[in-house]
Structure 1
Amino acid sequence: MTSTTRVVVVGGGYAGVLAANRLSRRADIDITLVNPRPAFVERIRLHQLVAGNDDAVEDYSAILTDRAKLILDSAERIDAAAHQLRLSSGAFLGYDYLIYAVGSTAPVSTATPGALENAYALGELESAQRLAARLTDVPLQAPIVIVGGGLTGIEAASEWAEAGRNVTLVTGALGPSLAKGGRKSVAKRLTKLGATVVENATATQVGPDRVVLRDGRALPSAVTVWTAGFGVPTLAADSGLSTDRLGRLLTDETLTSVDDPSILAAGDAASPSGQPLRMSCQLAMPLASHATDTVLARLAGREPANLNPASVGQCISLGRHAGTIQMSHFDDVALPMHIGGHLAATIKESVCKGTLSFLAKEARKPGSYFWPRGGKRAKLLKKGPVGV
């Protein structure tokens, strides 16, 4: 008599879908994917949704294995002792293994006066849709202020400026994860598109029609968009599991929870050894593959391997006709090398399309997804845990 291993994947983003697909390598695994939305969200295209040139969603039927049971619900609590997941509907799901792939959030600051009431977030589908709806009532020439000069803010400013919007980007530093040449490439393109960049600045107050900076300047703003910082869902902390200070699930280097061997983490919400990788689609998918391979190894009676993914760079769209590809060391530190212009835009678009292709291929041929290795995790860990 054969037994079936029940694996519940919490979260239907890049990490969750890849994990569910990869699990189908074994016929004796019962796969359940829990997600609150009926469609897959391409978070890397949400700025395009707002600009009106992409809907940023894909049907699960195109990218998710038919072996997985999709449950449209939200997870409320993990009962590790009972091996059960409680859902918002009141239902309970039993599991033998649970893969925690809840992703990240991009909330508006609660510490900046007026931001929560007057600014729009961009990092999730519903908030991007609300922003898109708001902009339909705003003339093209009306000022838009984006707070946050990371990659999300840069891509949004470029996309909307290219569409004819009057955009100002407020940031402490433009593209802090980029090397000097990459930052210059981004700044040059923003200037060419007519976007204004205000650096070395901090928003201290957001009103319905302005953003006040620390130096006292008031920037007119018909619509303010907040792209500064990331967070994670509180499910792990609410369930009494060990997390780092941001709320990511603490794991060992096999991505197994430090509290429970039946719980594994993947993607933005994972904090292996208290040294999490950069929150990104590029690194979320290797994490998902590794967490799944840990489960498969244990089921096969093998010792799971330690995490050692490699980063190869950062791809930034600067509108539809230009981009910047920042090359990096395997440990995700930027190199003084980049590609710009139309070639970079072509590469970026290929990466976006390729991400869905990787997911779809893994659904058809589980185990086919692979990623560069050699991120020198052991060297990084010698520095000691951070963020715990």
Structure 2
Amino acid sequence: MADNTDVVVIGGGYAGVLAANRLTQRGDVAVTLVNPRPVFVERIRLHQLAAGTHRAVTDYRDVLAPGVRLVVDAVTRVDAAERSVALAEGGSLGYDHLVYAVGSGGAEPPVPGAAEFSHPVSTLEEAQRLADALTAAPAGAAVTVVGAGPTGIEAAAELAEQGRKVTLVCGGILGPYLHPRGRRSVAGRLAKLGVRVLDGPDSTVAEVTRETVRFADGRDLRSDVTVWTAGFGVPDLAARSGLSTDALGRLLTDETLTSVDDPRIVAAGDAAAPSDLPFRMSCQSATRLGAHAADTVLRRIAGEEPEPVNLGFFGQCISLGRGAGIFQFANRDDTAKGLHIAGRLGARVKEFVCLSTLKHLAHEAEKPGSLTWVADDTRRELLKAGRPAAPTAR
């Protein structure tokens, strides 16, 4: 009888869990998932954790296939030559194939004082610290959220709905991904919640202090609690391990999600940069990329050629407190359409998406290989033409 093929998955988020579950299709594959926390973090609910409206965690037993071995630890280095990963608590794990799914977090703020005096909300621990800071602050404290992407909008709306006095500082336009119609809808909901929105070229933050947010033109905004959601980065594990990365630190891969350095390493989720043209960071792409990464590994084990990734999108959903939300429909190439669902129905759609994401993971644990997704040929056309382009609203 042949020996098992050992596959190590680094990262227990949406991409890593989906990949680990899908790999259990073969009985001769031993799957180990390495994650620094013993619980699964619902990252798309971390703004709720900060506001006290959700725990944002679930037990791995509810989403992870029973045949997957969970190692609660952090990987400090990948040794591609030795096919092993070093663990923070000591020791190492050998592998035949590796899935790199370390996810993303808040980027180091380039603004003086932001790292010291503001609160990011991209990890479980950060959201918990923000919740503690809000609990310690008086009810009338001025809260400033910097960054007007989905995380910033959701945090501002959630906190305002809880009675907080919130200012949302965009540093540009509100909701850059959104179609102008969707943007107007979001702005209207924020206004109803009492959120003061500062957008445009005069909303660039130049400095953060303990009690103020200072703009580039010298204006000061009082801020007792500052929340920083502007920009995301990825762990530097790949770079520290001598693997090729893009400018942000994402692992460079080909279109099958295979590392350009080593055919036994594949990447998935936010930390993957296929053809140096990464997909938008989202749980929507993370789960699908996790599935495709697993398929690439399984094909290699079977002696077959892996296929290029082909991923289409549906849109973007944003919660606007518990009472409203928006689902921004998109073309399959991830460009926003003029159609959206807003209000209470939008909130229901957002909650449905949050619940469905967990159900996708659990279903893949029960029936590995079951997740399917829509395709889109636009990416292949862009790569052939040598014209990488970021999604824009239209």
**What TM-score do the two structures reach when normalised by structure 1?**
0.98
Q: Number of aligned residue pairs: give it.
A: 386
Residue 217 of structure 1 deviates from its aligned partner by 1.4
CA distance, structure 2, for counterparts of residue 246 and residue 367 of structure 1: 31
| Residues in 1 aligned to 2:295 and 2:83: alpha-carbon distance in whole angstroms | 20
Q: Deviations over 1:293-327 (max 9, x none)?
A: 01111222222111110011000100111111111
Match of residue 19 from structure 1? 19
Query: 1:8 corresponds to which residue?
Result: 8
Mapped contact 2:78–2:237 kept (Cα < 8 A): yes
Counterpart for residue 238 of structure 1? 240
CA shift, 1:386, in A, is: 8.2
- Using the alignment, how far apart are the partners of 1:368 and 1:267 within structure 2? 18
Aligned-partner SS, 1:224: strand
Deviations 1:46-68 (A, max 9, x none): 00001111000000011101111
SS of match in other structure, 2:233:
coil
Alpha carbons 1:107, 1:123 under 8 Å: kept: no
CA-based RMSD of the aligned residues comes to: 1.2
CA distance in 2, matches of 1:126, 1:384: 39
Is the CA contact (8 Å cut-off) linking 1:318 and 1:345 kept in structure 2? Answer: yes
Letter in 1 for 2:353: V
Aligned equivalent of 2:63: 63
Distance, in Å, in 2 between the alignment partners of 1:92 and 1:40 is 23
1:18-55 per-position Cα deviation (integer Å, ceiling 9, x unaligned) = 00000000000010000000000000000000111100
Pick from 208, 211, 216 the counterpart of residue 209 of structure 1.
211
Flag structure 1 segments of 5+ consecutive residues without an equivalent: none
Per mean C-alpha deviation after superposition, the further-off stretch among 33-42 and 136-145 is 136-145
Aligned residue in 1 for 2:149: 150
**Pair 1:122 & 2:121 matched:** yes
* Matched residue, 1:371: 373
CA drift at 1:108: 4.7
Alpha-carbon separation, structure 2, partners of 1:8 and 1:312: 31
Distance across 2 between alignment mates of 1:295 and 1:353: 28
- Which aligned runs of 4 or more in structure 1 are off by greater than 6 angstroms? none
**What does the per-residue CA deviation read over 1:98-130, in whole Å, with 9 as the maximum and x for residues that have no partner?**
000000011450x21111110011010000000
Work out the CA distance in 1 between the residues paired with 2:347 and 2:32. 37
- CA distance in 1 between counterparts of 2:101 and 2:114 reads 28
TM-score for both structures, normalised by structure 2? 0.96
- Report the 3-state secondary structure (helix = DSSP H, G, I; strand = E; otherwise coil) of the residue aligned with 1:8: strand
1:380 alignment counterpart: 382
**2:311 & 2:382 partners in 1: Cα distance?**
12
Which position in structure 2 is the counterpart of 1:94?
Answer: 94
- Listed one character per residue, the Cα deviations across residues 132-167 of structure 1 (whole Å, up to 9, x for unaligned) are 011111122211001100010000001110111000
Contact persistence 2:382–2:389 (CA under 8 A) = no
Q: State the distance in 2 between where 1:147 and 1:48 align.
A: 17
Structure 2 contact 144–169 (Cα < 8 Å) conserved: yes
